[in-house]
Chains A and B, each alone.
Chain A
Amino acid sequence: MSPAQWDLPPELCCRPMAFVALTGLDVVYNAVHRAIWDAFCANRRADRVPISFKVLPGDHEYPKCRTKRTSYEWYIPKGILKTGWMNKHLNLVPALVVLFYELDWDEPQWKEKQSECATKVEIVRTSLQGRNTKVAVVLIQKKTPLPPGEDVMASERAAALCNACDLSGKSLFVLPHTDHLVGYIIRLENAFYEHAQTYYYTEIRRVKSHKEFLNKTTHQLLFVRHQFKTAFFSELKQDTQNALKYYRAAYSLIHELRTHETNILEIKTMAGFINYKICRLCFQHNTPLDAIAQFRKHIDLCKKKIGSAELAFEHAAWMSKQFQYFGDLFDEAIKLGLTAIQTQNPGFYYQQAAHYAQERKRLAFQLCGGPEANLGYPAPDPLETPTGILDFYGQRAWRQGHQISTCFKLVSQELIIALLSNAVAQFKKYKCPRMKSRLMVQMGEEYYHTKDYAKALKLLDYVMCDYRTERWWGLLTSILGTALRCSYLMAQVKDYVSYSMELVGRASMLREDQKSRIQKNVAKVLKNEPPEAEPDCDPSAVKAAQALWNERGSQASGEDLILEVQDSVPFVQCKARFLHPSFHLDVPVQLHVFLLTDSPHPVRFSKLCVSLSNQDYNQYCVVDSLGQAPAQEDMCLVPGRTHRYSFRFVARPEDVGKKIEITGVDLMLGSENGRCIFLNWRGGGGDAASSHEALQATRSFKRRGRLPENEVDWDTVSIQASTMIISRVPRISVQLHHEPPALNNEMYCMMVTIQSHEDIVARDLKLTAGLKPGQDANLSHTTHVTLDGSKMCDDSHRALLPDIPMGDLQPQEKPLSIRCSTTGPRIFLVHVAYTVDTCIEGRDIVCKCHKFEHLEHVFVDVPFLLMTDILSMSPWPLHLVTSELQLAPTMAAVDQPASQVEEVVLQTGESASECFCLTCPPVHHGTTGVASGQYVMSWKRKSANATIPVVNTVITLPHVAVETIPLYVHADLPSFGRVRESLPVKYHIQNRTAIVQEVEMSVEPSDAFMFSGLKQVRLRILPGTEQDMLYNFYPLMAGYQMLPLLNINLLRLPAVSGQLLRRFLPSLQSIYVPQYKPVYITQVAACRVSFYY
């Protein structure tokens, strides 16, 4: 039984195409014939008709047609389908034989040539005796033919030739050998295709006609055979729809056959063939769901047809192939544009194929009693047949009884692995990472069985971390078990120990006794002894492994193995923490390492060391049997108890401001005279499972049992892998007494008090005080600092006074005066430096002071008021000594302006106002603004003593805009009105120009008022005179109401709009709640002086 036994025959898997034989072509020696042949077979793209061509000699012997049976009465079929049948119709029996013959119409020796041609046709006909195969003749001509009907000789001779060869006119073709060869060939091809179609059509009819002779009892096999044949001919005819129909009929017929031991294999084989065809056609018709449904049906029907129990392995092999072929078909369809989905992709079929292949192996082993019992393949091969080929598909070459002896040496692991890796590729494509991992585990296990341990380990190692991060401990344990066996059999010490440690640890689901066994094995490895064999290992492999271990033991003494345990879940857990996130330089840095083991037996270690980012400290963080000689029990980790190891060291001054980090923790197991294994944790410990455990522990409400003194609960320990070294805290107090904010130009006093709390004398005290450097450059020009507060300081004083010597340390005070000539925040720096022993310490205190001011601007007309508001925003009472208004020449005061705020004290938030009545003399045209002058205030802090000078603050008043107007309008009206009581309003219109003005006035209607008076009027006003207009308004609504709009138009000066004039008029009138009476139009120049810090 060859491994290819279950491979589908190639004639089944190919696409059936009409077979056309070409004869009379000498493709070797004749260049013309060669060109014709090439045109037929080269560049057959999809748009050419599906024909397979073959060049055959003219006297080729076609397969003989057996004599037609006239009756099926005594005929008992021996099988379903002959093995040669498909090949015969694909490659041996042509649908059409084409005879190529060189003959021009004007051939001089026409008679001879004609009879020669007729003879050749006759020869072909004879060899096709009994077949329906068509014959056609192609005349190869040198001349281009004339259009039909014009060449009389041609049509005559053609008729004669047809007659001589007994051909219909449709079967005679002319092929002019000219430039357009390919074009002619394509036309010929299409004609051949039609002939072939007719041939296959008659064949289908012929096969169908047998049906009436069949009976259901003896000819069941023939029903299937005939359906299959019709389907196959339909495929040759390219009628895939009907082919699919016939195949389906054949498929249902085949399951109606009676099955018994002898024919079950044949039935399964043929069912597999037909199923393959159906699925293939379904995919071709783009109905993948039909294909899948058919395949499911097929599997469900055939799953149970195992046959004899001893042949179960054969059934499994067959099942495996079925899945594999379907997977291949599916995958091919996808390559042609089908889209698969996550839950329906070829991967599943490859996976099942692999599953059955494994099943086959298992059954075969069972049958033989294990691979060792392989008896060798018997010779002569009982499966050989004299011809090498069986008559029918799926039949056995032997009679029942002497067949099952071997067949297993061919059980191929490669097949299983190939199927699995196919499936892996598919699942990777369809986003199934877990499925992929699982298949990789299976592959690993398969490699393990083939004793390819290195590959197995590689695969298992790859997926292990997926299962670890997903926290599927049960699965991880099983994978680790296989990996451990692999590493044992290869005697890989490092891997062996690392898998063992994880299997002993808390993530493992193994039973306690198994853990105990593994831990003992680890102990042996540490003593450089070979460990005991893992259970379920192949005994012969174990023997080899033991030899390997002994070898390892002899050669490798004192070798150090470093295991990175951060990413696994080892049996020892580690957490390291600095006691504080920062340490002062004068305090020793303290560091704890906690260890916990969850193995069944205590773990003894010989060294524990911590590596820090500054390696100089590493020497202080070691526990070993030599150095500090800790008690023996300290070196032994008791399962379930948290062990704490404390370290302390003094940080170096150069590390001030730096971070010290734990870069790793190493735990040495074993001893120098055996084997040393270092467990290395990067950073402050923890492993693949610990972060989740810590999270769960913080969430837990569980009350932790009370622990004895000096023991810690593991869950409460957190990792603190780094600490800061910070400078010593200076024990000196610096206090600043001052009353912020500092006011502009003031001599601001700041008292600095320094007091030492040092145990010993602080020497060389130095004070630096002043503006903090690094601020805006302008600030340092406008800020002056002095120690002498009795005089105003000026530009000669500096902004920062460095290193004022203060001598030894008595508590002392130092007054400091600061004058700022501009506003804005300033940061001052007071820096005290002193020396104590050898430590130099400093201290910064930052004080802030701000100032700032704010002005508004206005504009002017007629007589107007200038108002100044002084608002104290100083948090301290201010004493206003006096104030003065210094007017510019463009302004004139109406009366004598005297200060109205002399000797006033303003508390925080209080304001003082002054009001001056001013006029603006006429100005030249074109002047848009005039200067108004300056306002000078003299003030000081109320609390300031008499020696502090008075501060003069000068404020420049804003420029005001000046306008000249031709007409001045103002109104007389009561301060309020009452609803439904008349409200008399008098408008005064004054002409201010030197000419007579014509004025048009109108009052617009309003919802809020009824009124009497001139609604629309035109009048003239003489120069310098005034016209009064009286209106009686009658309010209808309460509240602030808009007065009816007064429109004024100057006909002479259209540029002066009513809007400008209306600005002088009150537009709002309060009804009932009167508050507002702006009779004269007053422009107020307000100047607000705001002080605040």
Chain B
Amino acid sequence: MMTMLGGEPFLLVSKQEQQNYPLYIRSVPSDSELKFHYTVHTSLDVVEEKVSAVGKVIVDQRELYLGLLYPTEDYKVYGYVTNSKVKFVIVVDSSNTSLRDNEIRSMFRKLHNSFTDVMCNPFYNPGDPIQSKVFDSMVSSMMVQTC
């Protein structure tokens, strides 16, 4: 797993409560890519739980960053939900100690900004998989940085 030092950002979208299909998935190329897909998919359990809990408590205090979703043996999974319920998930190697909460937060913010740009594109149909060179290169640069 030494090649997996970088962050593996994944993007997900949900239109309604039950819609959680991937809009964008990207990982450092490796054999266990499928495993990451599973990790992200299972993390949605926690995301959904957290999102519904936020709705119950305070609505106006919108904290988009959901924090560490759950620690697995080898990876840390972080979550983020926009106001329109688009979910972002980042998976990083747990041995990567240089990534603390603040770094993850700023990564999410970057992702969110870039995602907003994608949404502003009049030719992008919301709900379609994201195919944007700008977005790709932003994610790539972020993954390079975390390595």
Contact = CB atoms under 8 A, between A and B. Distances in A.
A740 B38 CA distance: 75
Contacts of A469: 18
Given A435-B45, A470-B20, A355 B73 contact: yes
Interface in A431-475: 431-435, 438, 441, 469-472, 474-475
Q: Identify which of A434, A469, A700 gathers the most chain B CB atoms within 10 Å of its CB.
A: A434
B21 A472 contact: yes
A299 B94 CA distance: 14
Given A470-B21, A474-B37, A478-B34, A699 B42 contact: no
A343 interface: yes
B73 A343 contact: no
A438 B34 CA distance: 12
Contacts of B128: 696, 700
A872 interface: no
Contact of B42 (A438, A478, A702): A438
Interface in A300-344: 342-344
Interface in B1-60: 18-22, 25, 34, 37-38, 41-42, 44-46, 49
Given A342-B46, A701-B123, A470 B69 contact: no
Contacts of A434: 41-42, 44-45
A700 B34 CA distance: 30
A432 B41 CA distance: 11
Cβ-closest 7 pairs across A and B: A471-B21, A432-B45, A343-B70, A700-B125, A435-B42, A434-B42, A434-B45
Interface string B59-78: 00000000001101100000
Contacts of A699: 125-127
A318 to B, nearest CB: 15
Category for how many chain B residues contact A: 20 to 34
Contact of A696 (B18, B41, B127): B127
Contacts of A422: none
Contacts of B69: 343
A475 B45 contact: no
Interface string B116-147: 00000011011110000000000000000000
A13 B21 CA distance: 46
A521 interface: no
A472 B37 contact: yes
A348 B128 CA distance: 34
Contacts of B25: 474
A475 B34 contact: yes
Interface in B77-134: 122-123, 125-128
A394 B129 CA distance: 55
A723 interface: no
A275 interface: no
Given A435-B45, A475-B41, A702 B123 contact: yes
B38 A475 contact: yes
Nearest to B69: A343
Contacts of B125: 696, 699-702
A352 interface: yes
Interface string A696-709: 10011110000000
B42 A472 contact: no
A478 B72 CA distance: 22
A907 B42 CA distance: 80
Given A299-B73, A472-B41, 15 more contacts: A342-B45, A343-B46, A343-B70, A431-B45, A431-B49, A438-B42, A469-B18, A471-B19, A471-B22, A474-B34, A474-B37, A696-B127, A699-B125, A700-B128, A702-B125
A434 B41 CA distance: 7
A678 B95 CA distance: 53
Q: Identify which of A348, A432, A469, A695 gathers the most chain B CB atoms within 10 Å of its CB.
A: A432
Interface string A402-442: 00000000000000000000000000000111110010010
A444 to B, nearest CB: 13
Contacts of B46: 342-343, 432
Nearest to B44: A434
Contacts of B42: 432, 434-435, 438
A394 B45 CA distance: 40
Contacts of A695: 127
A472 B42 CA distance: 12
Contacts of B19: 471
A471 B129 CA distance: 12
Contacts of B21: 470-472
A348 B72 CA distance: 8
A471 to B, nearest CB: 3
Contacts of A431: 45, 49
14 contacts: A343-B46, A344-B70, A431-B49, A432-B46, A434-B42, A438-B38, A441-B38, A471-B22, A472-B21, A474-B22, A474-B34, A696-B127, A699-B126, A701-B125
A355 B49 CA distance: 25
Nearest to A700: B125
A472 B45 contact: no
A438 B41 contact: yes
B24 to A, nearest CB: 12
A700 B121 CA distance: 12
Nearest to B38: A438
A467 to B, nearest CB: 8
Contacts of B44: 434
A342 B123 CA distance: 40
B56 to A, nearest CB: 15
Q: Identify which of B19, B21, B34 gathers the most chain A CB atoms within 10 Å of its CB.
A: B21
A591 B33 CA distance: 46
A342 to B, nearest CB: 5
A701 B125 CA distance: 7
A470 B123 contact: no
A431 B25 CA distance: 25
Contacts of A348: 70, 72
Contacts of A701: 122-123, 125
Nearest to A470: B20
Contacts of A475: 34, 37-38, 41
Contacts of B41: 434, 438, 470, 472, 475
A470 B40 CA distance: 13
A67 B3 CA distance: 58
A469 B20 CA distance: 9
Contacts of B49: 342, 431
Interface in A659-709: 695-696, 699-702
Nearest to A441: B38
Contacts of B22: 471-472, 474
Nearest to A697: B125
A433 B45 contact: yes
A469 to B, nearest CB: 8
A448 to B, nearest CB: 15
Nearest to A352: B73
Contacts of A441: 38
A435 B20 CA distance: 14
A352 B25 CA distance: 25
Nearest to B124: A701
A475 B39 CA distance: 11
Contacts of B20: 470
Nearest to B94: A300
Nearest to B77: A343
A469 B72 CA distance: 26
Nearest to B34: A478
Contacts of A702: 123, 125
Contacts of A343: 46, 69-70
A699 B123 CA distance: 11
Interface string A801-828: 0000000000000000000000000000
A441 B123 CA distance: 38
A334 B10 CA distance: 34
Q: Identify which of B21, B41, B44 gathers the most chain A CB atoms within 10 Å of its CB.
A: B41
A701 B44 CA distance: 30
Interface in A619-669: none
A470 B21 CA distance: 6
A348 B70 CA distance: 10
